[in-house]
Amino acid sequence: MAEIIDGKAISLAIKEECRDKVEKENLKRCLAVVLVGDDPASAVYVGNKKKACEFCGVKSVSHELPAATTEEELLNLVAELNMDDSINGILVQLPLPSHIDEDKVIRAISPDKDVDGFHPENVGKLSIGQPGFLSCTPAGIIQLLKRSNVDMDGKNCVIIGRSNIVGKPMALLMLRENATVTVCHSHTKDLKEICKRADILIVAIGKPKMIDASYVKDGAVVIDVGIHRQENGKLCGDVDFDTVEPVASMITPVPGGVGPMTIAMLMKNVVDGIANDKNMPYVAI
């Protein structure tokens, strides 16, 4: 029987800490949220981000643009938001319509307002140990582990997935916690054997229930980043929870595990800003 890591409770605690900090220090924080097009999932995410701002006492300004918006129009808006001193965080919801170059838009956001932690400058800073904004989902996973008292030092951590948003920054953050890190992906040979050696297994492959108990060492900590809608309408992760839970020592559920942490860490990025605390050389940890 595994202990369930309660991402809902931990994310609420982080949002409450953000709210208390805003109130105590009378902080004036404002997040600009940009949504292009009418992707229903993106609209839900953006709605949840705006609600989290309200909860934390952070102002949000919303720019909802039609799908036909040109790249130039979007870049102009980003430039305006960069120059606007009343705005300290800019979030452009991804994915963007296919006629817009996402990398170009991410590069256009000022690294000082890049609360998603996607700008190459912030990614580069993370990789060489300098202060900067961290990508929210992997930073949230570190918080889940720390607040559940999981010791990462010297542990074998296996990450499945090498995306720019989750897998790669996750590997860098786990290295920073002194874990021994292995990153697996679609070309990895002997995936099962490698996963079986993991003390901490982080799964971000995007395939429903792919990781069953045969991939998991007895007593491992299992973090499931996936989220999928099944035919019966229920949500599931990349991990087959029912078979893995009896083998693991700790596991995140879907929903209510990693998912809520992404928005909590976004709020932490917006509220903390970068390197405002000399004792905390990275935001959000």
Nearer to ligand GUN, 150 or 258 (CB): 258
Instruction: Name the active-site residue from 15, 93, 143, 209.
Output: 93
Interface ranges with ligand GUN (CB under 6 A): 91-94, 116, 136, 262
Q: What does the alpha-carbon distance between residue 199 and residue 182 come to, in Å, rounded to a whole number?
A: 11
Minimum gap (Å) between residue 130 Cβ and ligand GUN: 22
Nearer to ligand GUN, 92 or 195 (CB): 92
Q: What does the alpha-carbon distance between residue 276 and residue 53 come to, in Å, rounded to a whole number?
A: 20
Nearer to ligand GUN, 84 or 102 (CB): 102
Nearer to ligand GUN, 43 or 94 (CB): 94
Minimum gap (Å) between residue 185 Cβ and ligand GUN: 19
Nearer to ligand GUN, 45 or 215 (CB): 45
154: left (phi over 0), alpha (psi -120 to 50) or beta: left
Chain centroid offset of residue 81 CA: 23
User: What is the biggest distance separating any 2 CA atoms in the chain, rounded to whole angstroms?
Assistant: 54
219, exposed or middle or buried, with CB in 10 Å at 0-12, 13-18, 19+? Answer: exposed
Minimum gap (Å) between residue 128 Cβ and ligand GUN: 23
Instruction: Name the active-site residue from 15, 49, 113, 168.
Output: 49
Q: What does the alpha-carbon distance between residue 244 and residue 278 come to, in Å, rounded to a whole number?
A: 41
Q: Is 93 a catalytic residue?
A: yes
CA distances, 45 to each of 41, 93, 275 (Å): 6, 8, 27
Q: Is 143 a catalytic residue?
A: no
Minimum gap (Å) between residue 54 Cβ and ligand GUN: 18
Instruction: Name the active-site residue from 6, 114, 116, 238.
Output: 116
Minimum gap (Å) between residue 118 Cβ and ligand GUN: 7
Chain centroid offset of residue 33 CA: 16
Contact at 8 Å (CB) between 282 and 126? Answer: yes
Nearer to ligand GUN, 179 or 264 (CB): 264
Closest by Cα among 17, 257, 21 to 145: 257
Minimum gap (Å) between residue 41 Cβ and ligand GUN: 8
Q: What does the alpha-carbon distance between residue 159 and residue 198 come to, in Å, rounded to a whole number?
A: 9
* Residues 120-141 as b or e (16 or more Cβ within 10 Å = b): ebbbebbeeeebbbbbbbbbbb
Q: Which helix (H) or strand (E) holds 31?
A: strand 30-36
**Which residues are tagged catalytic?**
49, 93, 116
